[in-house]
């Protein structure tokens, strides 16, 4: 076990929100876990960057800058940022200045976190001046944080914080070394038995993305401090169990993930942490591909799990893929909580239709569940953070 407590990464510190100085450190200073890191408060360029980008102004407009004097075209791209701008999937062009710096100002935008890319002459890249980037199983992208008047529900606040520990273990299922993260709540007491949420990501996401992009640990810290969520152990395993572009990914992934959970993940957690070891004390939830893992592994493994959160996922042929669960006359007795949710902007598209097809199957078979559409996001982290904070976690274990 590799404990991260002594390494002081951003997600393990208890943060004091106010400094001794009247000035707030921001503009990518990376001194504190600022809620407004892209506000220009010191007029300094981020360390090793060519210029300041992005810059969030007081009116919540955002200016992006790219130094590319030889480029012919520069565009802002990315599903999350374009959804936030109401642009669909249409890239937004920059304008080139005489100094070779390309500039784009957009907004005003709602306070939130937005993933984006810069496209330079057809080459997609992260923003070369933004120090806040994603570490995923996909090529890297940048993150824009549009702040509100204070810390948001997903920000580090001056409340008690839980601890996140990274475990490295050998898997006989995938034939190699793997990782998972375990969150223990503030005041974790080994004499108590905590319920456990197993939370997984989508295609191309690593376990750390639920920490850095999803802010799951900070969201849970804040909910517990607000008295809105039960203290729980939260486990974030890696549900990338076969190459995402493997031609038989859909055919193979669910069985491999189930084996990984049964043979390695759950035994590791339950041998190292004081947790309940019954289906009623275990929940499985995931976003997108992880939501499908929740459906096709979790709902068919009621000997393991009793609560479920399906985020932005579904199946057009749920009648077939979930037939054993849907036709189990005792399903409602075995399941404590079943949540199905998606974002407002994705509800009317192809992905949304799969979610509603699954909802219709639940309703047809009288499966007790909660269905929710909310937030302003599409198929992106703005939606998954919203679903976690406003619906799923507050209702879990109630």
- Tell me the per-residue pLDDT of 250-271, one tens digit each, with 9 for 90 and over: 888 889 999 999 999 999 999 9
Instruction: List the one residue out of 357, 359, 355, 288 whose CA is nearest residue 317.
Output: 357
ω into residue 91 within 30 of 0, thus cis? Answer: no
Q: pLDDT tens digits, the chain, 398 residues: what are they?
A: 444 443 333 333 333 333 333 344 567 888 889 999 999 988 888 888 889 999 999 999 999 999 999 999 999 999 899 999 988 889 999 999 999 999 999 999 999 999 999 999 999 999 999 999 888 888 889 999 999 999 999 999 999 999 999 999 999 999 999 999 999 999 999 999 999 999 999 988 899 999 999 999 999 999 999 999 999 999 999 998 888 888 888 888 889 999 999 999 999 999 999 999 999 999 999 999 999 999 999 999 999 999 999 999 999 999 999 999 999 999 999 999 999 999 999 888 888 899 999 999 999 999 999 999 999 988 999 999 999 999 999 999 98
- Tell me the per-residue pLDDT of 7-42, one tens digit each, with 9 for 90 and over: 333 333 333 333 333 344 567 888 889 999 999 988
- Given this model, what pLDDT does residue 172 score? 97
- Given this model, what pLDDT does residue 347 score? 87
- Given this model, what pLDDT does residue 25 score? 54
In terms of C-beta density within 10 A (0-12 exposed, 13-18 middle, 19 or more buried), how is residue 121 classed? exposed
Alpha-carbon distance of 367 to 326, in angstroms, equals 7
The DSSP bridge partners found for residue 102 are: 66, 96
CA dihedral of 45, 51, 53, 59, whole degrees rounded to 10 = 70
pTM, entire model: 0.90
What domains appear along the chain, each with residue ranges and CATH number? 18-150 (2.60.40.10), 163-395 (3.40.50.1820)
Q: What value, to the nearest 5°, has the Cα angle with vertex 239 and ends 290 and 340?
A: 15
Alpha-carbon distance of 64 to 278, in angstroms, equals 50
């Amino acid at each position: 076990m590799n404990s991260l407590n002594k390494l002081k990464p951003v997600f393990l510190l208890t943060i004091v929100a106010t400094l001794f100085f009247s000035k707030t450190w921001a503009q990518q200073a990376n001194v504190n876990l600022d809620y407004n890191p892209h506000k220009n408060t010191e007029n300094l360029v981020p360390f090793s960057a060519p210029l300041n980008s992005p810059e969030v102004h007081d009116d919540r407009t955002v200016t992006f800058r790219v130094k590319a004097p030889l480029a012919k075209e520069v565009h802002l791209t990315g599903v999350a940022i374009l959804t936030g701008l109401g642009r669909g999937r249409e890239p937004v062009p920059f304008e080139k200045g005489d100094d070779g710096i390309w500039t784009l100002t957009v907004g005003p935008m709602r306070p939130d976190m937005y993933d984006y890319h810069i496209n330079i002459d057809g080459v997609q890249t992260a923003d070369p001046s933004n120090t806040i980037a994603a570490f995923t199983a996909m090529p890297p992208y940048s993150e824009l944080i549009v702040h509100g008047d204070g810390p948001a529900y997903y920000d580090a606040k001056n409340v008690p914080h839980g601890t996140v520990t990274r475990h490295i273990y050998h898997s006989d299922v995938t034939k190699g070394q793997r990782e998972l993260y375990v969150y223990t709540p503030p005041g974790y007491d080994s004499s108590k038995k905590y319920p456990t949420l197993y939370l997984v990501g989508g295609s191309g996401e690593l376990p750390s993305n639920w920490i850095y992009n999803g802010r799951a640990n900070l969201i849970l810290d804040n909910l517990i401090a607000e008295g809105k969520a039960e203290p729980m152990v939260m486990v974030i395993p890696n549900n990338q169990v076969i190459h995402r572009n493997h031609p038989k990914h859909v055919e193979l992934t669910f069985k491999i993930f189930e084996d990984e959970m049964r043979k390695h993940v759950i035994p590791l957690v339950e041998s190292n942490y004081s947790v309940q070891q019954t289906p009623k004390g275990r929940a499985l939830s995931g976003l997108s591909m992880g939501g499908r893992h929740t459906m096709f592994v979790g709902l068919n493994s009621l000997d393991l799990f009793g609560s479920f959160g399906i985020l932005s996922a579904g199946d057009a042929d749920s009648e077939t893929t979930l037939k054993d669960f849907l036709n189990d006359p005792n399903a409602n007795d075995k399941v404590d909580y079943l949540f199905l949710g998606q974002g407002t902007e994705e509800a009317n598209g192809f992905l949304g239709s799969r979610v509603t097809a699954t909802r219709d199957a639940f309703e047809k078979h009288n499966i007790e569940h909660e269905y929710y559409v909310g937030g302003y996001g599409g198929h992106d982290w703005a939606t998954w953070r919203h679903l976690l904070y406003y619906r799923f976690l507050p209702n879990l274990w109630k």
